[in-house]
Amino acid sequence: MSSFFRRKQSIQILFPNCSKISFRYSFLKPSQNPQALRSSLNRNLLIRPFSAKSVKVPEYEMPSVTWGVIQGRKEKLVSRVIICDYLKSIGIVPDELEDLELPSTVEVMRERVEFLQKLGLTIDDINEYPLMLGCSVRKNIIPVLGYLEKVGIQRSRLGEFVKNYPQCLHASVIVELVPVVKFLRGLDVEKQDIGYVLMKYPELLGFKLEGTMSTSVAYLVSIGVNPRDIGPMVTQYPYFLGMRVGTMIKPLVDYLVSLGLPRKILARMFEKRPYVLGYDLVETVRPNVDCLISFGIRREALGSVIAQYPQILGLPLKAKLSSQQYFFNLKLKVDPDGFSSVIEKMPQIVSLNQNVIMKPVEFLLGRAFPAEDVAKMIVKCPQLVAVQVGLMKNSYYFFKSEMGRPVKELVEFPEYFTYSLESRIKPRYQRLQSKGIRASLAWFLNCSDQRFEERLHGHYIEVESVGPSFCMGGKLELPGKEPVSEEEDESDDEILYRRTVSL
């Protein structure tokens, strides 16, 4: 008796053909004797008068957590067999449901299956995660789906969400889902983007706030990522919230820093392209860096290459470089050394379509440029192959008809085709004409507006010098102390980043 009564509460005993008998009982200590128990029952037993009319009452009335009834061991076994037979009849394998509490009737189970099917899940989807059948439609599924729809997931895509992350059906809305959404909002993820982020990475709903997500954000901020940019980063690539700092993010950062990339530039790179954080260091990044070196890219230029084109770390690089190198050698007469120089100056070449590359080349060849000169122009200014032919035509005809200069100047300064005809070439050339100054293309085009004005008002035409060189890990070298930026208060890293990284 002492092992049965655990706590003080009320209970109702149902006798056949009689009204309910209510009494209160309390825990009987081992020291108490049966006489004490009888006295306690006499004090607490409250017998209501018998009803004049015989009333039939079900044997069990207390509802269970599965909206069924409390069953004895034998009844449970029978119900489980019936439910498993039903599931097998519709193609669901119930093997994983052995330790799962199932509803008391097959009708309740049929309701769950049909509800999931209305969401868009198939029998195969249910077989992928049969534990979802242990979730009550009213207590689990409907509250979870209602909240997901509230935070921005379209009703028509709820089935897709459940298919991708069925574990969400076991979650508590208040205890587990709401805190995650509040955490995302705290990172400056826009309210209208919450549904998009969760659809992209539904496993976020299963993370602990004080674990991986918080440490990932804290580490990125520590290397220079602007806290205000974390929200857009999450919207673009939420997967970094699930990456461990010690095993994934920090080793990648340390390796890129060892290649000459300053942390400040890395931070800007991650802000604009957070998916770089997902590149596998061992499987992808290291092999691609080794591949660049094998194709003649100088080690001191690796940082510049990565800063200009971060995606190069995640490409199937060996195949792309092999294909482009062969194409440049065969069609453009650019040797392997020239090709490596092209990659250092414009690494995006590895992904540029060969038909796109040929259009500017064919335009130049059609204007009687020798193939050797075209090759020199491309090695000197690889951006030439990405210029639209229509713009090249306009610039070329202005050069020939208005400026009347020899074609040799274009071979020496192919960058001419990369400048805007209307906003830079024409206005500056007209200023030169009004002043009666004749200067090379590089002298009046390859400088800022401020520097151009200074040159116009100078007492002599200064000797031209080469452009700034890029040296990762050090300062930006400015030959002849020539200013290269209109913003004089920029730091060396900011100048380096702005001039070499096109994000």
Residue 15 CB neighbours (<10 A)? 10
Least confident of 68-82, 138-152, 176-190: 68-82
* Contact (CB, 8 A) for 231 and 187: yes
Smallest CA-to-CA distance from 453 within 476, 479, 427 is with 427
User: Which 3-state string (H, E, C) describes 55-116?
Assistant: CCCCCCCCECCCCCECCCHHHHHHHHHHHHHHHHHCCCCCHHHCCCCCCCCHHHHHHHHHHH
Residue 268's H or E segment, with its range, is: helix 263-272
> Residue 320: pLDDT above 60?
yes
pLDDT at residue 459, rounded to an integer: 59
Structure tokens at 465: 């010098």
pTM score of the predicted model: 0.73
Structure tokens at 209: 């706030």
pLDDT at residue 462, rounded to an integer: 57
Structure tokens at 177: 């889902």
**Cα gap 346→414, rounded to integer Å:** 15
Report percent pLDDT > 70 for the chain. Answer: 77
pLDDT digit string, tens, across residues 205-238: 998 888 889 999 999 999 999 999 999 999 999 9
Q: Where are the beta strands (DSSP E) in 217-300?
A: none
pLDDT at residue 77, rounded to an integer: 83
> Residue 491: pLDDT above 50?
no
Helix and strand tally (H, E) in the chain?
24, 3
pLDDT at residue 313, rounded to an integer: 96
Beta-bridged to residue 9, according to DSSP, are 25
Structure tokens at 398: 């202005």
**Cα gap 22→46, rounded to integer Å:** 6
Give, in order, the Cα–Cα distances in Å from 222 to each of 226, 264, 278, 306: 9, 11, 19, 21
